[in-house]
Amino acid sequence: MSTKTIHFVVNGREETAEFRDDCSDSEVKELFRAAAEVGPLHILKLFSSDGRLLKISPSLQQNDRKSVYTLQLASDYVAAPSQLVAMESRLHRLERRMTELSQSPEPLRDLDRQVEGFKRKLQSVGHLSWMGMFRDDSEKVIPKTRPKLTNKAVPQTSVHGPHTSVHEQRKNVRAQFLNMSSLQVNEEVREHLRTPMFDNWQWEEPEMLLLIQTMFVDLDLVSEFHMESRVLQNFLLEVYGRYNDIPFHNFQHCFCVTQMMYGLIWLTELRGRLGRTELLVMLTSALCHDLDHPGYNNVYQINAQTDLALRYNDISPLENHHCAVAFSILAKPESNILKSVTSEQYKQIRAGMIKCILATDMARHNEILNKFRSIQPSFDFNNTEHKEVLMKIMVKVSDISNEARPMSVAEPWLDCLLQEFFNQSDTEKLRGLPVTPFMDRDKVSKPSSQTNFIRFVLLPLFTELTKLFPCLEQHILEPVRRALDYYGELEKSSKTDQDPASS
């Protein structure tokens, strides 16, 4: 495995981080937290030399001292009590110095006790200002515990040694989410969560689970369908655990699609136009739409004659699989958020989710868009067929909405998507299968991959939805137009560089 070297500045001093390509996200983030001498209560932001926000992960681009990055504490997101932060920071510094010892010295144990005692005191106050989230007094707060450092050397300027297994990582996410599950998100974060401007890169997976839980509560789905808190949490954790660790179709993508759906529901005021059952179908479909995605699309499944293609007779094999996994989760009593609905409601929800998830198969894009285009001029919210088509369109828009987000959020997602595409085309070449043209790393560039997709897929789809909801013009249509201009200019520059005589 190759080793990357990252040069960055934090708190006015230069640091160098080294880590292997096979490190996990959490290991790399812990490395940067150690360099900043802060604990897990803080969120860090990493900026490139030209001011772009970067995702702290193993996919970071190696740089040199001429293009040094800047690591900052995201104080606008974090509001941890200063006393606790100071004690945690001091404790982490001491622990790093003492990791070679077999036992913690008494001053260190003393400080550890002070930190835990201070946390317990915080839980007795009316609110807990921690990452912009507030405590719900109606529920018991599970004490948060700081991870204990072992006697093993703690990474400071490099990450080596075996990385955390997927099982361990998911176990940690589960513990952290359940630890914070009784917290409430403050109004400022809620308002931001309802817009396409939301930046997923600044949130850890346990926090994303808490934000999704908040969406279910805010849309009155928990109260309407009598969902028990622990059952909802189990459901979200089961969903999280069934997304694979692949470049694009992972849990973060699931979160982004669900967040966009939630935002569109608020922006279009669908809470007052559709019933709670329809809202549940749309939000849950967004959440489950790519469950257990293997990172290889339907064309690959069919050409390679995989088990999925054989099982579903080459008909939307992935989307059918996503549906099947979703309902296998709902079949478990401990994660069945629909266990209090009537049999008739269950049939309606199940049928709606299947239709919405199957609609995300891009092979059906023109069929669904043309159907919506035909009914849009006379759309009627009292017409069941019209509502079904709208729900499909809403899930589709949410699924491919990255370019409606700020460029600092959208562009890293394009890098992830291209990585997954290139992985597939490489495999196709190795196995002697037909190579998917738009995934071929030898033929596709970043700008060329986007200009046609935006021009022929995104803009027609987003334009039709905006005709029904004019308020979306500024929120999703204008950003997509700007993205087309941006990638169009990049494509022109690329062609000029390749053929100087044409300029």
Q: Which of 118, 172, 126, 167 is nearest to 143 (CA)?
A: 118
SS3 for 330?
helix
Determine phi and psi for 158, rounding to 5 degrees: -155, 155
Quick one: tokens of 346?
A: 């269950």
Beta-bridge partner residues of 6: 17
Alpha helix (H) ranges present in 18-143? 25-36, 82-98, 106-122
**How far apart are the two ends of the chain, measured CA to CA in Å?**
42
Q: What share of the chain is helix, strand, coil (3-state, %, to 5)?
A: 60, 5, 35
432-467 core/surface letters (b: 16 or more CB in 10 A; e: else):
ebebbeebbeeebbebbbbbebbeebbbebbebbbe
Q: Which of 42, 92, 249, 289 is catalytic?
A: 249
Q: What is the C-alpha to C-alpha distance for residues 149 and 178, in angstroms, rounded to an integer?
A: 21
Q: Is 249 a catalytic residue?
A: yes
CA atoms within 13 A on the CB side of 36: 25
Checking phi first, is residue 383 left (phi over 0); if not, alpha (psi -120 to 50) or beta?
beta
* Distance of alpha carbon 418 from alpha carbon 425, whole angstroms: 10
Per-residue burial over 157-171, b = 16 or more CB atoms within 10 Å of its CB, e = otherwise: eebeeebbeeeebbe
Beta 44-47 vs 3-10: how paired, if at all?
A: unpaired
Euclidean distance between CA atoms 487 and 458, whole angstroms: 14
Structure tokens at 26: 């959490």
Active site residues: 249
